[in-house]
Chain A
């Protein structure tokens, strides 16, 4: 019987099967940020187990609230910083070098095809874009990951999503994933791995694949996953070129993790996007999705472009294309948060930041910022934000605030109009 990507990864990392379908697997990496890791660190200290399994396989970043905004967040950073120092964790990114975890770690080449990794963060599924099994976990699992480099999971069940058709102009990866979540529902993939496949995914950049995998969890998925291909190799080449003579050789190695032709999926869904229009959420759940034109005219107070979903260079480019030479509405506060220092410098070099600033946007340092409503753009009660983030839960960006999720192109067009509107890149015929 053939195997899926996730099954191949699990079998190659097998450690133990203590009970039922629970598999304990070896981890190639454990990622950490300052919100969920300090709790794990302090508990390990309390247990007399302040150790790490392998300091080279642990990567840490302060990204959620940076610079610290108050004593509590300063304390979270301090616990993480001192721990990284104490355990010689080299790949620790503090202010000035830090960026949103799910953007900066892939950018540094820390995720390779076939990898297993965990993090105390639900959007860890993003890294599946590289053909890795990457899952968000709770504090106890994180502690065990840090201490022993293993994690226990149910043996993976995979749902295959074949994305077919041709991507209409002005439609972004974000629109694709929003339409998928709208179709599956917030529980549609609960406890499953979503394998994104088909001609549309084959053509997607790594950034676009990350946008899709990022939101797998919004349909309940444990992990999103894309089969590694030449696009993956090209993205990773600067980090792996020492190990392979040619790109083809690297790809051949990574293809060990490609799904078998007779792999068994729990479900195979064909999702045709030829007729897809830009999408936007309308409620407090990410599956409450509508075409933008049905939401046309809804006034917004703030536009936020950034986050682990859409704060990468491609996202900023597409927004800048819409904003170029335009001014945002007087009634809108525009905030853009390039996801990493690299994205920030690139956007600077390409003149993108200038376009944003000339349009009237505030450019922040790389951080999660307003995404989780802790800093850099918290909403007041009754306010509405057009956002490129991934969660519209009640109160997510501030108590009593409303968040409409959308693509960077739609967000930019909305900023100019002052109300929700189709991206100007998207032409209806």
Chain B
């Protein structure tokens, strides 16, 4: 199973598409690792600096994350940077499926819960701990600590536990 805990990167915008996550010009790379430096290269977000990605393990963002092209390079580019968990108000369907297929997590929280997270933690050094047994995140910075419950489908959980669809299928079929 991959690691789902670590420092959070807040991306305060809806509809961040896969071209912003990994530009099309890098699709000719035949190794996933080669995508690492290009994550979020073309994101349209005021104040975003590529250095913000360094050391982060979790993305917290708004609605419809991962829309646009169905490229699996988007989760790979995240994974290459050690980011295996995205928490958002909603996801584009294929992106969400690609994440679980790769043994990564795309967790939806209500708009209200996301708003709270942005209000309380954005702009500060925030650590997210994922507790898959109790289905909760524990978010923490210097001042607050908050527990946030989440839901996950059994099949998605099985994919996460197996380490993705390849490992799951290889075990079962």
Residues of chain A whose beta carbon lies under 8 Å from any beta carbon of chain B: 15-16, 18-20, 22, 24, 38-39, 42-44, 47, 49, 72-73, 75-76, 79, 138-141, 143-144, 147-148, 150, 152
Contacts and interface: CB of A to CB of B under 8 A. Distances in A.
B165 A152 contact: yes
A49 B154 CA distance: 26
B173 A138 contact: no
Given A19-B154, A79-B30, A140 B166 contact: yes
Given A22-B155, A147-B170, 6 more contacts: A24-B173, A47-B166, A73-B28, A79-B30, A144-B165, A147-B169
Question: Which 6 residue pairs are nearest across A and B when measured between Cβ atoms?
Answer: A19-B155, A140-B101, A38-B30, A144-B169, A138-B72, A139-B72
12 contacts: A15-B173, A19-B153, A43-B166, A140-B72, A140-B98, A140-B166, A141-B101, A141-B165, A143-B166, A144-B165, A144-B170, A148-B173
A49 B155 CA distance: 23
A140 B30 contact: no
Interface in B115-173: 153-155, 158, 164-167, 169-170, 172-173
B30 A150 contact: no
A43 B98 contact: no
B14 interface: no
B166 A144 contact: yes
Interface in B44-76: 70-72
A124 to B, nearest CB: 13
B32 interface: yes
B31 A148 contact: no
A75 B30 contact: yes
B173 A39 contact: no
Most buried by A among B72, B102, B153, B154: B72
Contact of B166 (A38, A39, A73, A147): A147
B155 A20 contact: yes
A49 B28 contact: no
A220 B28 CA distance: 24
Contact of A76 (B30, B164, B172): B30
A72 B26 CA distance: 11
Contacts of A72: 28
A20 B98 CA distance: 17
A150 B173 contact: yes
A148 B32 contact: no
Contacts of A138: 70-72, 94, 98, 101
Contacts of A143: 166
Contacts of A16: 172-173
B21 to A, nearest CB: 15
B40 to A, nearest CB: 20
Contacts of B172: 16
Nearest to A37: B30
B166 A49 contact: yes
Nearest to B31: A42
B166 to A, nearest CB: 5
B111 to A, nearest CB: 24
Contact of B32 (A39, A49, A141): A39
A43 B166 CA distance: 10
- Residue with the greatest number of chain B CB neighbours at <10 A, chosen from A15, A139, A143: A139
A49 B166 CA distance: 9
